[in-house]
Structures are given as C-alpha cells and as structure tokens.
Structure 1
Amino acid sequence: MMDSQENTLNQGTPEENVVSENTAKEVEEPLSHKVYKSKSEIIERLKEIVSGDENPQKDEIDYLKTSFYKIHIAEREAKQKEYLDAGGNPEQYIVTPDEQEEVFKAEMSLIKEKRQKLFLQQEEEKQENLKKKLEIIEAIKSMATSPEEANKSYSKFKELQQQWKEIKAVPADKANELWRNYQLYVEQFYDLLKLNSEAREYDFKKNLDLKTGLCEAAEKLDQEKDVISAFHQLQELHQQYREIGPVVKDLREQIWARFKAASTIINKKHQQHFEQLRAQEEENLTRKTALCEQAEAIAGEDNKNAADWEKHTKAIIAIQAEWKTIGFAPQKMNVKIFERFRAACDNFFGKKAQYFKQLKEAFAENARKKEALVEKARALQDSTEWKSTSDKLIALQKEWKTIGMVPKKRGDQLWNDFLTACNKFFEARNAANAGTRGEEHANLDKKRDIISQLKALAEEKAENIQEKVQTLVDSYNQVGHVPYREKDKLYKEYHDVLDKLYKELNITIAQKRLDTFKSNLKNVVKRGEDALDNERGRLMRRYEGLKQEIITYENNLGFLNASSKKGNSLIDEMNRKVQKLKDDMELVKQKIKAIDAENQNQD
C-alpha cells in the first residue's frame, strides 16, 4: 500500500527521510553567498530586503551580519595601524564610533520585525491550507464507500486531485499524517473503481510510466558531482512522486522499492557530506571558543602601565588575525560565537581607551603640580639664606620625585626649568662657601692624621698607651667639621680603630686589676674573719648592679630605629657601652671566684 511505503521511508535516518511536500521546501542548506567588499554594499542589501517582498532567510541574514563585522573590525584595525605608522602615540589612540554600524543595527531591527510578520502570515496560510486539504480528504472519503459511488464520482475525484496539487504548505506537524490519509483514500477510491475500468487502467499505466521516469531520474543523480544539488533535485522528484496517483496494486511495492533504493544512495552521500561539514564546523567552533577565552582572559588582565597595554594589544591583534583564518562554526552558533569574540575585543579596547583617557588627565594634573614647583624654585633661586633655602629646595626636590609622569617632551622641559632654578641657587651658595670648604678639607687631613697615629698605637705594646690614646681622642674631638660626603666614612674608620684599642686595653687593664686584687687578699684576711665575706657581698652587689644596667641598655637598643645614619651612630655607641659593662662584670665575677678560692685555702 502507498501509505505503508511512505511510512517506511519516513521511519529511516534523518537524512534518508522523505519530507512532506511543504517541509521539503523548508529544509535549510548552506547557500552560495555573494562576497561583499564593503559595509555599504551589505547595508544596501539589507535595505533591499526591508523594502522588498521577499521573505528574509535566516541563513542570509546571519551571513550578512558576520560579513559586516568582519569588515568593521578589519577597518578599525587598519585605522589604528595607520595612526601608529604615522608616529602616533599608542597610549593616546581612541576607537571612534562608526555611524554605519548604527545604520546596520537599525536595518537589522526592521528585518527582524519583517520576519516575524511574515512568519505569522505564513502560519495563517498553512492553517487555511490544512483546512482545505482536510475537506478534500473528507470528500474523497465519502466517494470511496462503494464501486457504484466511485464510478459515479470519477470526474469529481479528478477535480479534487487537481485541487490538492494546487494547495501548498501546511503546518509541518500535520503534513505526514495528512499525506498518509490522502493516499489511503485515493487508493481505496481506485480499488473500488469498477465500471470505468478502462479509465482506471489508463491512470494506472500513466502513473507507472511517470513513476518509472522518476526512478530513472533518481538513479542518474548518483552521477551528479554536486552532492547538495543532487539532494535538492531528489526532493523535487519526491514531490512529483507524491503528486502522482497509484499504479496497479501488484506493482506498487516494486516501483516504490526501486525509487527508494535510488533515494537511499543520494541521501547517504548527502548525510556523509554534512557529517564532514559538521565535523569541520565543530572543530572551527572549538578553535574559535579557545580564541574567545584567550581574548576574555586578556581583557580581564590588570594592566598597570602603558607597556602592559601595548603588550596585550599586540596579543589581541594576533588573536584577531588567527580568527580570520578559521572558517564558519555551526550555523546555530556562528553568530553567537562571533558576537562573543567581538564583545571580548570591544571590552579590551574600551578599557584601554578609558585607561589612556584617565592617564591623559593624570598627566595634565602632574604637569600642573610640577609647574607649581618650578615657580617655587624660581622664587628661591636668588636667595642668600643659604641654610634655610637649601632645606626648602631639597624639600621641593623630594616632592618632585613623588609626582607621577608627564608626557616626555613636556616633562623634559619642566625638569630643565626646575633644575636650572635649583642649580642657580646652589652654585651661588657654593661660591659663597668656598672658604668654608677649604677649612673642612684641612680638618679632614688633621683627623686622618690622628686616625693614622691611633692605628700605629694599636700595633704597639708601648707603656702608657692608655694615656696616649686619650690624648689623641681629645685632639680629634677638638678638630672642626669635615666635608659632608666624607663624614660617615671617617666616622667608621675612627671608631673601628678605637674599638680595637679599647678592647685590647680593657683586657690588659682588667687582668692587671685582677692580679692586684688577688695579691691584696692577704691584707684583707688580716683585717678580721668577716673581711672576706664583706668584700664578697660588696662585689655581689656590684655584679648585680652591672647586670641590671646591661639589661636596661639592651632593652633601649631594641627601641632604636637604625634606618638613618644618625640612628646607626647612636646604636654603635651604645653597643660599645654595653660591651664595657660586660667586661667590668666579668672582672667582678673573677674577683668573686678569687675570694671563694681564698676561703677554701683558709679552711
């Protein structure tokens, strides 16, 4: 039966299915699109669609949108490159708005409205066509009740068949069921047709000839090189096959099997073609998704300076160049993935424009601050208040360092003006203080001579070395200031040699004191039994006193800030005092041990 044949085909794989007469026209295939060379051409095509009677196809609309933004981005990149090649500052480049993009968006909005309106109209027409075809089926059904009724209604039946062919699309969800019912009652009508057997046999033979021709045409499509064209031609053949009435019952399955076999070959080629195409499009989508992620990651970076922006701008441009080498993604994702990529790029360049706008404002503010410092320096450049003005200019120089950058050309000019004013004052001050510097250099020579004498004493084992050291120290302290740049170096050299001398002197003196103390213990014993204990008690009190004093000094050291040169000098001096106290405490400790040893001898 014809309906069973149609059901068999419709139950195949999606590419093998023979769609109904209205859905066949709705199968969307990639079209060969015109190559547009400018945004103006694309906008003109959009205006044609808006003003014309044609139904805007989604495939073409998506293609126009993709083509427009490809050209749009390429033009934007070209403008930026032209600006940079002409010597423009990349930090000051700002993307300008595109009026054509606004026109494009407006036309696309109108097309969207038009597509919606046409869709509603088509749906109304399909519902009306469904109603008409249902009425035709009911009419044929009423004729296919008996041979007599069929013979009597043959002419009317032929008219209904012609009307059926003239009625076009119906709702897609009703199409197959509608066709099956139509074929069922048409076959029932022919099977009941008895009296006019000659007419019936003529129809059967004519239908067989037509369907045989369609089988031959379908079989020849196997030689067609263009798979897409072959598939579309096959859809037309199926449309014609469905419009042809039945053949003699014994040949119905046979002729359908032949047509189906030829259709299967073309459908499989079509399926393989689109499987390969979809695989490539999926790969393209994967690559484009990765580029979107890279662009989004770069757009989300925290750019701290112009160098960061320049580095990331080059990275974005490289990603855009790679994007252009990749083909289309699947149709349902092609526009979405492009819009995602464009959004990431626009986000990056929008942030860049905002950054350099703020940077420009900051440059202007920094320039105003530096101009104010230049004016202050100029106001002080002729002053003869050497000390106070020096302090003020040094403070201005420190403040200058806290102010951010300005454009190089302007910054160099401001720095030259500021430096000129400062130099004018310091050169005048230096000329006035030339005599003072001569005296400071003479003092430097005197102190270096004293340090040399101290170093010589450190190598000697002479008598009265302590007195000699003290004499040199007194002489050193009486010498006046030395040049500022030499002060710290001289201070370190002087105290290094003093530390060495005092360390050796303390050891020598301490040993002498201990020996003297031990030799005097006999005299202490002679003063009475409690004399040694009294002396030991006195020394213990002295020991604890020294210990507590050392703790106090060490605690104070913990609170000192050694970040300045002055702080370092104070810390060094206190460390020397602590060491002297520790040496004294050690001497007291040794004296206590000497008393303990003498007590044991007395026992």
Structure 2
Amino acid sequence: MLEEKDENLHENAEGNLEEKAAESSAESEAEVENELETESSETATESKATETESEAEVENELETESSETATESEATETETETETETDSEPTKDEHKDAVNEVQDNAAEDAEDESATVRHEIPMLDYHSMSMEKLVDELEKLVKNEKVQAIKEHVEGIKSEFSQKYNEVVEQRKEEFIDEGGNIIDFHFSLPIKGRFNVAYNEYRSKRNDYYKNLEKDLNANLEKRLALIEELKGLLNVEENINTTYKHFKQIQEEWRNAGSIPKAQYNNIWRTYHHHIERFYDFLHLNRDLRDLDFKRNYEEKLKIIARAEELANEENVIHAFRELQNLHRLWKEEVGPVAKELREEIWNRFSEATKVIHDKRQEYFKNIDQVYEQNLVVKKEIIAKIKEIAAGNYKVHNQWQNKIKEVEKLREAFFNAGKVPLKVNEETWAKFKQVVREFNANKNAFYKSLKKEQQENLAKKMELIELAESLKDSDDWANVTPKMKKVQSDWKKIGHVPKKISDKIWKQFKNACNHYFDRLHAQKNAANAEEVEALKKKEAFLAEIEAFELSGNAKEDVETIKEKIADWKAIGRVPYNKKNIDNKFNKVVDGLFKKLNIDKQESELIKYSNRLENLDDAKINSERIFIRRKIDEIKGEIRQLENNMQFFSDASADNPMLKKVHQDIEKHKQNLATWKAKLQQLREL
C-alpha cells in the first residue's frame, strides 16, 4: 500500500519521546535565564542519532519476538513487497515528492494523537509584540490551552522575548559602563522578566508532566498493538467457522484503530508487521470470497470518501489548514481503512495522489509568496537600519535635539518590529545590524548626557548660591533695597540651565519657598498700607471740599499762617492710592489761588507752595528734582553773566539810558529768581 512506499518516515521525525522526557525533566529554573541570554536550539543531530538507535532496538525486538514471526517475515518478504507495491498504487514521478512530504509530516504527528489541535490555535505575529504583550500571550496560552498544542507558540514567544529583553539589557549595560561603572558590579532586571519566568516555568512543568504520562501511555499502547498482532497471527491456525474467524478479525481491526498512539521510533515497524499479517489473513480469507469482497467494497467506499474530501481540500483557501487535514486523511488511508480489490487500487490511488499534489503545490506556492513578503520586509528593515544609522551619526548639541532624536529612534525601533519577519538565512545578520546601529546611537547619546551632567553640576552650584542669597533676604523689612535684589535673584535663576533631574524639583521648591516668603510679606505690607491710603483719600476729599470753600480774612499775615496750617494739615493726612494722586494737584491749585489773592512777597509765596509739593515726591523724583534745580541755577547764573558782559558794550553809561536800565532790571529779576531756586535747593537738602 501507499504507506509502505516510505519505510523511513520515522528518520525525519523529531527526537523520540524518551529524549523529550529526559530533556524536560533535567531543565531547572536557572536554565530559563540561560535560554533568555542565548536562544537555545534543538539538538536535532543528537535526537536523530538516538532515534536511529531506538529504531534499531525496536527492529531487533520485533525480529526476536518469536522465531515463528521472523521466519514468516523472511519467507514472505518478496511476496509482501509485491503485494504492497500493488496495494500502494505506484506513485507517478511527478507526485512522489508531494506524497512523501505529506507522509513525512504525518509521521511526525504519529506519536501525539492531539497533534492537529495545536494548529487550530492562531499563530500571532510575535515579532511585532512588546515584551508585555508577549508575556500576556504566554500566560494566556499556558492557562487556557493544552500544553502539547502550544510548543511552537511558546518557542516563538520565548525567542522574541529573549531578543527584546537582551537588547534592553545591553543598552543599560552600555549606559552603566559609560557612566564609569565596573562591569562586575552591573546588575539589571525588569519586573516583566519575572512574569515571563513564572509563566515559562509553569509551561515546562506542565510539559514535563505531559511527556512523562505520554511515555507511559505510548508504551502501554505499544504492548496492546503487539498483543493484537499476536492475536491476528493466531487467526490463521484456529479451527472454527470462517464467519466466526472473520468477526474476530474485524474485532481485532477495531481494537487496533482504538489502541492509541505509540512511540514514533517504532511506528513504521509495528505498522508493517501488522499490515503483513492483515495481508496474510486476506490471503487466508480467499477461501470465503464473499466476506473478502464485502470488506473490499466497504474499504473502497471509505477510500472514495477520503478522496472526495481531499479533492474538496484542494479548493480550500486556508492552505495550511488544508495541508494539515490532508495529513490526517493519509493517516486514515494508512491505518484505519484496509485494502480494496486489486483492479481498483491503482485508479483510486492515482486520484488520491493527484489531489495530494494539488494541495502540496498550493502549499509550496504559499510559502514561495511568503518568501517574497519576507524579502519585502527585509527591504523595509534595511531602510530603517539606514535611517537609525544616519541619526546616530548626527551632531546634536542640546537636550531638546537629543530628546527629539530619541523619540524618532524609538518610532523606528517599533517600525522595525512591526515590519514582520525576514528570510531565515539573513535573520541573524539583520538583527545584528539593527542592534549595532541602535548601540551606536545609544553610545553617542550617553556621551552627550555624560558631558551634560558636568554642566548640570555647575548649574546646581550656581542655583544653590542663589537659594542661599534668597533665604538670607527673605525676612528683611528693607523693602526698598531688598525688593530689587530679590527680583534680580529670580531673573538670574531663569538664566541658569538645567540641573540633575533627581534634585531639580527639590531645589526649585526650596528656592520658590524663599521667594514666596519674601513677596508674601511685601504684599501683606502693601495691602496694609493700601488700607491706610484709602482712608487718607477719604479724609483728603473732605478736606479739599473744606478748603475750596475757605475765605481769606483780609489780614495777609494771618491768612498766610492759616494757609500754612492748612498745608500742614493736608500733609499730615498721609499718602493716597497711587491712581488717586491727582487729588494733590487739585489741592495745590486751590492753594495757588489763595496765594494769588494775598498781597505778599512772591518768593515767600513760591517757597510755601514748593514746600507743599515736595511732600508728594519719592526718592527717585527728589533726585531728579535736585538735578533740575541745579541746572536751573546754572542757567540763571549764565544769563546774569551774559547780561553783565553786555553792559560793557554800552557807549552811553548814563543812568538815563533806557536800554541800560532794562539790562539792570533783567539782572535784578534773574538774581531774585536765583535766590528763589537756591532756597528751593536748600529745602530739598533739608528734606
């Protein structure tokens, strides 16, 4: 039959069950750490060697199980090959590769009855996931799925998590060394690593338990099948009604179908032995052709159903699912459905192998297209690597530039992972180039921030000096002198650059508290003063109304004293709010009007009024007023000198000369003004 065309299926299978159990039980928690540092690989060569050894042991065991079996096998070897060749419907050359590949894959699943289950779990794009999402997916798989169905998923998650975690560790290690740390003292771990270890250890524990139980079950199933073979052999020597023997034969077939999986290494030998004795029984059954033909007919109908399903699968859009189901159809064809009439075998086999080839070719085309997609992904990843390399080569001078570039590189890293897989042959090379350019960028970034830290320490020293100054001034009551100093301290603070982030908030809070303490006191003092000024405004408004109604007595001397008293009373009221200072101008105008009505010395009147105005001048205005008066005095002196010089040019110096009289009058007038301005300057000095 078809199955005997590939006598070495088991040679392509993975390591036998005993190796899996031994390997799984030997792993420990510490090995998880090692697996994350360097991606572990299956020791395929060792497994194959062990498998071959196991196969040889099984063959020896089968050959020596009884001298009778050995003799029968040798005696009928040629016959079996001929019968099998006929029953397996010779494969056309163009179909051989397709059939062999399907059978190879089916053989790999022979040991695990639930092998097809794992393919129903969607294989996600783990490459594009973050470490957090990878661990979430691992935890979900371990919790909700059968351990034997998630091997490929777990290995994919472990590989991607390892790459991403190692990249972070390498980056932190470089930063640690750049900061002057000793590699011996380096230690780094992320909480997500702990979650991964817990989930992965749970998976390994479940996997170990599963394979231990599976080994036990497989060996028990092997014993059942060997016993059924012995029972089948015994049918040829029993003397009973052929119908009873046939029923016994069908019962053995049913029990064989339900006997369960056996170790892969023994799968083909056990099946060949069983099939050999099935063929012998059918030869024995030729004495009762009705029973044999009825069985052939049933088998023919079952194989037609298998063919029909295979032809349906040829139109299935999900190529992977179709290929997996095709493997199961080959298993049914091989294990559960017996021979058909010889004249029909080639016809139905050709149909089945043709459908097999269609599905196989679609699968090949699918993977060919996948390779093209991988090549496109490779182009994208190369472009990303080139962009990161260009950024890494840039010369950035300030913090903001580096922050922008860090964000750009982070986006490119994310795009790299989202770009998808690349061809396996260049995967390691592409990953190495990606890590290298990222490492170059990080090295340049670390060098910049290392120099920046020195500058930040200098800035910290400057800001600490300002804090010390602010705290020394915060309790001062010398508002006029200290307020400008505090404002300058605030201005100087803004001009100083960044300080280390870990202490930035602390010193800013300390500085702000000192400044706020002073200005809160200043504002409180001003608010108190403002209340007094509002009250003074009310009094001055009432006083202004009173003086506007004041009438002179007619006695100039008494009226002057009264006006002086009014001016003194006005000054005694105090300051008014700044935006209401115009009330003082109103008062001055009223006083000026009163002095005009008085027949008194002009200079005396002017000095009285000037004395009143001085009360409204602050320090800055007093200084300006002093400068103005001095300039005025100098101007008047200059004019007097000029007039005196002009007198020398008069030819007629008689007292009757009108022009000369005019000059004398001007000189006297200037001297009076000079005396008035000097008196004002004296008042300023006294003030």
TM-score bucket of the superposed structures, by smaller chain: 0.3 to 0.5
State the TM-score, normalizing by the size of structure 1: 0.47
RCO higher in 1 or 2 (8 Å CA, sep ≥ 6)? 2
TM (norm. structure 2) is: 0.42
